[in-house]
Structure 1
Amino acid sequence: MPTAPIPPSPFGAPVRPPGVVGSITHCTGYRAAAVALRARVLSVGIDAEPVHRCPPMRGQRWSGPRNGSG
């Protein structure tokens, strides 16, 4: 996926480029974002809660099978 800015709308929601889906989350001391091409996935969802201290995961990337198995 090419690099592109995702600016906030006047209400603070992310404005993704056409054809891109994504999700953002944050809690104290942690922020994360995930994006994908709409042609490859229907949606993306992530969540973070301050239950335990979040491990450092800067710049890591996750992907898996499209069918949700594995």
Structure 2
Amino acid sequence: MLVLKVNGMRCGHCKAAVEEAAAKIPGVSRPEVNLEAGELRFEESAPVDMAALREAIADIGFDPQ
């Protein structure tokens, strides 16, 4: 399981939006946000372009680390 810190998530809507954006990135499998930790956790089904993942999350208004 890989972990990406994401700042700015506060509610269930935020959680769903980040999970949905992450799921669209090739190779991201089973994305799951932990709001308390401010993290997106996911599995790789293929190599993930982390820059594309960060960009997708930033595009919806959050701050991926």
Q: Name the larger-Rg structure.
A: 1
Common fold: TM-score over 0.5:
no
| TM-score, L = length of structure 2 | 0.31
| TM-score, L = length of structure 1 | 0.30
Q: Which structure has the highest strand share of the two?
A: 2
Higher normalized contact order (CA 8 Å, seq sep 6+, divided by chain length): 2
Q: Which structure has the highest helix share of the two?
A: 2
